[in-house]
Amino acid sequence: MKKIGLIIKREFSTRVRKKSFIILTLLGPILMAAVMFLPAYLASLPTDDRVITVLDESLLLDFEKGKDEIRLRYLPPDKFDFASAQAFSEAQGDYAFMHIPLSEGGDPDFVARNVRLFRAGDISVSVESYLENTLEKYLQKEKLKATGVDPEIIARTKTKVNLRVINTDEGLETENATLIKMGIGYVAAFAIYIFIFLYGSQVMRGVIEEKTSRVIEIMVSSVRPFEMMSGKIIGIGLVAMLQFTIWIGLGSLFYVIAVSLFIDPQLAANNLPNAAANISLPNDGLLSIYSSLQSIDFFGIIASFIFYFIFGYLLYAALFAAVGSAVDKESDSQQFMLPISLPLILGLLVIIRALDNPDGDIAFWFSMIPLTSPLVMMARLPFGVAPWELILSMLILLISFVLLTWFASKIYRIGILMYGKKPTFTELLRWARYKN
Amino acid sequence: MIKAEGLHKSYGDHVALHHLDLEVKAGSIFGLLGPNGAGKTSFIRIINQITAPDSGQLFFNGEKLSASHIKKIGYLPEERGLYPKMKVGEQLLYLAQLKEVEKSQAKERILKWLKDFQLMDWKDKNVEELSKGMAQKVQFIATLLHQPELLILDEPFTGFDPRNTEIIKKEIQRLGERGTTIIFSTHRMESVEEICDSIVLINKGKKVLEGSLRDIKQQFRSGNYDLILEESQISTWPAGIEILSQASLQGKLHLKLKLEPENKQSLLQFLSTKNLHLFQEEEAKLHDIFIQTTAEE
């Protein structure tokens, strides 16, 4: 046991002292913050105005001005014909030219069929759909007028509905917080996925390094291969925990700073009434979100997260170590990586389904299969999972962790001393059957 | 020190060791010889408890080999290496601690060894900055830090220049004098003749030759003798002597003879009347014994 302690210490301290670790640890949250805030920032930037020249011979559009970045410039039909209007549009360097022809008998369908948009080059999808919507709106008005219905009445009868969903299943009647739950589930599952991949491959690389530097033979004459493998896995796991903790700490710090610097002033200024109107929450909107959050069992989720985080990593790390032991160089590891990465990626795909239908069959079974359960169960948990399901899933994960680690260590102890030809899967299985 | 009884080890269809019986006496410098793939490394790995035999037993000082013996064994493998990104001093400390040496004691010994091997300036350098020879020396130190009772050296001289080879050879001999049992595995017969007391030769997992170096050389005597006489010509020789070659060089006669042991006495009597410069039995070379015995198999 003392030897495992020494190995853990070495694995931990050599990694934590590396420059790359320090840089990545400090830079990670900045990068993550950038990933989170950059899209919002970019979306808030003003885009180039796009001017569409319109020759509206039917006077259909009623000189509609356009919207934010799409402006419509009308040419008087009595002074321009199609050719001169198009030439004018090109001379002005306008984005596109739209021609709405005159309909003989005022037939809106004729206009709909014959309206055309010209541009030298491809047209932006947003412009195209905006124009189509606008045309449809005005053509509808024309048709209503033709049948004698006042469009004003139609406009007044339009009603917007915000469905208030109540979840009766959670004891107290709370407002539905599906989006928040999906967010929590997704982030938790994704964090485990990243963690396993990032640090599992570090375990693999560490084993390959010991093989290529040939230090392994010295090591195994002092410690048992199993001690080496577990020492390495635990040591790297601790590095990961440290990094993760620092990330969460720094990340929340950055978040608080960013929110107070950029978002709060915006909300406080002119945007607030506007924003509230847009979201159109009921008056007690924020309060209801707050009470919805209270319905989520955060303690249970965090405790389960730590469990799945640790055992998911341990389960996969043992497999990564076995793969590392089987090859001499990293480029040879691809073939053996596939059976490890496949269930992880599959888990990630199933999450999407599980978030949409957390109690469905697919979500249930994949949260039981140990190779995917750390991801899928985390996605399900915020929606509430029956205790027996959670306990069963954890139990299966624990048992498989023990069995897989035992199996992986059997391959590992042979693999680390094998050099030369890259083994096949059958050979790996044969190694596992070797006696010591 | 080490006693193997019926040691058997196979990997799938390949038999690495075939019911091997072997004894290494305490305090001896023991040559473990054999061609590539003979089973030397398998045997060494079993002593180091890296692998376990399929059957048979191994005793260390009369006790059945167990995990408690690991700290009494020092092993310098043929394929050796160190953690490239670790400092020399830290690395040595780590390896010593894994062999259960107290931290303070290990530090003391590391300083002494680094001084002896003129590596003090490199203590805080990463291993990857060392030359190959220096790294080999560090490795050698690592093998000795826990003052093992049994030292296993697998091709210890590969990678050393002649000067460093001399340093290491002296160190091995000094350790041998102090009573450390040394198992010395190599293909280099000249170093075996210089260092070892006794040897075992294995081939295809089986023992083919065993004993003290002297006995084995005795066993493989060729019966050839080199002679130099201050004579121009000898026309008659005693009976039972076969002249393999003769040449006259600077007025001296150089001869190679073959004779049966029972005729030695009569030859010596005959030679006592001549002006004899040199009479020497041609010594059996371990190199030739090695080639001869492994070829027979």
pLDDT in tens, A206-255: 999 999 988 998 998 899 899 999 999 999 999 999 998 888 888 778 77
Of A211, A210, A209, give the one whose Cα is nearest residue A423: A211
User: Are the CB atoms for A311 and A396 separated by under 8 Å?
Assistant: no
Please list the pLDDT of chain B residue by residue as tens digits (297 residues).
899 999 999 887 888 899 999 999 999 999 999 888 888 989 999 999 888 899 999 999 999 999 899 999 999 998 888 999 899 999 999 999 999 999 999 999 999 999 999 999 999 999 999 988 899 899 999 999 999 999 999 988 887 888 888 888 899 999 999 999 999 998 778 888 888 889 999 988 898 888 888 888 888 887 788 888 887 777 777 777 888 888 888 888 888 888 887 888 888 888 888 888 888 888 878 888 888 888 764
pLDDT in tens, A176-200: 677 888 888 888 898 899 889 989 9
Could B83 and A213 be called an inter-chain contact, meaning their C-beta atoms sit closer than 8 Å? yes
For chain B, the maximum distance between any two Cα atoms, rounded to a whole number of angstroms, is: 77
pLDDT category at A274 given cuts 50, 70, 90 is: very low
Question: b or e along A329-341 (b: 16 or more beta carbons within 10 Å of the residue's beta carbon)?
Answer: eeeebeebbeebe
Return the pLDDT at B183: 94
Q: Which of A218, A228, A416, A429 to mutate to test the interface with B (most CBs of B within 10 A)?
A: A218
State yes or no: ipTM above 0.85.
no
Return the pLDDT at A272: 45
pTM of the full predicted structure? Answer: 0.77
Which contiguous run of DSSP H or E holds residue B200? strand B198-203
CB hemisphere CA count around B268 (13 angstroms) = 9
Of A301, A307, A319, A302, give the one whose Cα is nearest residue A197: A319
DSSP notation for A284-302? THHHHHHHHHHTS-HHHHH
Minimum distance, in Å, between the CA of residue B213 and any CA atom of chain A: 29
Return the pLDDT at A390: 94
Residue type, B271: L
Distance separating alpha carbons of residues B42 and B32, to the nearest angstrom: 12
Tokens of B226: 């080199």
pLDDT in tens, A287-329: 555 666 666 778 889 899 999 999 999 999 999 999 999 998 8
Nearest CB among B52, B54, B94 relative to A6 is that of B94
Is any Cβ of chain B less than 8 angstroms from the Cβ of A436? yes
Tokens of A235: 């040591």
Judged against a pLDDT cut of 80, whether residue A258 lies above it is answered with no
DSSP notation for A215-234? THHHHHTTS-HHHHHHHHHH
Q: Which of B8, B50, B101, B153 to mutate to test the interface with A (most CBs of A within 10 A)?
A: B50
Residues of B with CB under 8 A from a CB of A: 11-12, 45, 48-52, 54, 70, 73, 75, 77, 79-86, 94-95, 97-100, 139, 142
Judged against a pLDDT cut of 70, whether residue A163 lies above it is answered with yes
Compute φ and ψ for B23, nearest 5 degrees. Answer: -135, 130
Tokens of A183: 């967010």
pLDDT in tens, A115-155: 999 988 888 888 888 899 999 988 888 888 888 888 788 88
Q: Which residue of A has its CA nearest to B86?
A: A14
Is any Cβ of chain B less than 8 angstroms from the Cβ of A218? yes
Distance separating alpha carbons of residues A287 and A35, to the nearest angstrom: 29
Environment class of A423 (CB within 10 Å of its CB; exposed 0-12, middle 13-18, buried 19+): buried
Is any Cβ of chain B less than 8 angstroms from the Cβ of A429? no
Could B12 and A430 be called an inter-chain contact, meaning their C-beta atoms sit closer than 8 Å? yes
Tokens of A111: 């206009």
How many other β-carbons are positioned within 10 Å of the β-carbon of residue A113? 10
Contacts of A381 (CB under 8 A, 6+ apart): A185, A188, A300, A301, A304, A390
